[in-house]
Chain A
Amino acid sequence: MALSREQIAQRVAQELRDGYYVNLGIGIPTLVANYIPDGMQVMLQSENGLLGMGEFPTEETIDADLINAGKQTVTAIAGASFFSSAESFAMIRGGHVDLTVLGAFEVDVAGSIASWMIPGKLIKGMGGAMDLVAGADNIIVTMMHADKKGNSKLLPQCELPLTGFGCIKMVLTDLALVAIKDGAFHLLERAPGVSVEEIKSKTAGKLIVPEHVPEMQF
């Protein structure tokens, strides 16, 4: 079975470590916050100027001056800080964020990522995605392995305009956990009940498959 959105978030959460500063993108990455293991301290960075993002507010505590990068009203945890956009991206560009999780349309064997623009459709802009992929060393891309017609999104070379060039090393799809190195995808784990053959058939870029591919554990 392909992973649900929640399961993708759950598997990403297994990569969190105590004391991490983490930036979660919009969509599935945001759900990772729901699976931070008990007893683990993680600070969530929101690039509009908040370190220490908390849960959604109540009707009583809602504050128009306190939003996240998705423009949703949020709260700040004890120990949080606020800062300007320049300071926020100094944290990101300067490599101070321990883990970045974001979505993508396509990735390729060189570690390039396309996530912001589909020519011919409305172009909304890249927001902070280009800064995040260029600035972070530890990035997990969450995405669908293939489109609804079965066309692979893990490609020999991205076809859409890039968000970043040669910067992605880890991809979690609904079917597999894949590392990118030496110009190839390396299959690390498969979703429970998903065969290596299915993953192979839906990976257009070069895929290295070890003898034993463990199933993800939840």
Chain B
Amino acid sequence: MAGLDKRVASYDEALAGLTDNMTIMVGGFGLCGIPEGLIAQMVKMKIKGLTAISNNAGVDDFGLGLLLKQHQISTMISSYVGENATFEQQMLSGELNVILTPQGTLAEKIRAGGAGIPAFFTATGYGTPVAEGKETREIDGRHYVLEPALHADFALVRAWKADTMGNLVFRKTAANFNPMMATAGKITVVEAEHIVAPGELDPDHIHTSGIYVDRIIQGTFEKRIEQRTVKA
């Protein structure tokens, strides 16, 4: 690496420093927009005891399901974890600690983490199991729950285009949690479909500025579809 050129040449380099018991954020909604090669690298590294912050847990043989199968995750912070039998079995046996978090609250906790906001009040979850043990406050006649921000040792992000300085553009609904997660990692690693030279991305069209990004690797993606639906 030189100056602001954040490209790395290998997946080993991309995840150097990621060790047991760290907290990771992994972008994606279902299997859409997940950093496939970085997940595969974590399987290869055999790191264990991870706390994984990700909206979903993948399916049995793809996405974060691959890490679950190898018993590498000890805590999951997610909003929806259906469609995964490995997950179910590890949760019921108590091996896996699961912190279910409303999707919008999860997104905002990550956004807050990246923006230096330690916690925020939200009406979401008030009066439900999600609010148990949390501070609540009445503001202008409405009840709110205090939700702390989330941070991670590593944020693993998938982008459509990255320039070598780490400016990012996401594609369609593959953006989802990726833009916030890019801001909330101590080390943010981007797996991009295309890497271009600085100046090739229109500064007006950049979704995430390079300041948040530490490493960029060129990925190749299977882009598996979870629910293939077509017009009759």
Per the 8 Å Cβ criterion, residues 56-110 of A in contact with B are 56-59, 62-68, 70-74, 76, 82-86, 88-89, 92-93
Question: Is B171 interfacial (CB 8 A cutoff)?
Answer: yes
Q: Does B194 contact A (CB under 8 A)?
A: no
Given contacts A73-B228, A128-B79, A163-B128, contact A86 B172 (CB under 8 A): no
A173 to chain B, nearest CB (A): 23
B11 interfacial contact with A, CB 8 Å: no
Contact of B199 with A by CB under 8 A: no
Report B195-232 CB contacts with A as 1/0, cut-off 8 Å. 00000000000010000000000000001111111110
Interchain CB contact under 8 A, B179 and A84: yes
Q: Which residues from A are CB-within-8-Å of B175?
A: 49, 82-84
Interface magnitude class on chain B: 35 or more
* B230 and A57 within 8 A (CB): yes
Interface flag for A196 (CB, 8 Å): no
- Residue of B107, B126, B179 touching A165 (CB-CB under 8 A): B126
Contact indicator A73/B126 (Cβ below 8 Å)? no
Q: Is the CB of A130 within 8 A of B172?
A: no
Number of A residues whose C-beta is below 8 Å from B? 52
Q: Which residues of B does A touch, CB under 8 Å?
A: 29-33, 55, 78-82, 88, 91-92, 98, 100, 102-108, 110-111, 122-130, 143, 160, 170-180, 207, 223-231
Give the B-binding residues of A (Cβ under 8 A): 46-50, 55-59, 62-68, 70-74, 76, 82-86, 88-89, 92-93, 112, 117, 122-131, 134-135, 161-166
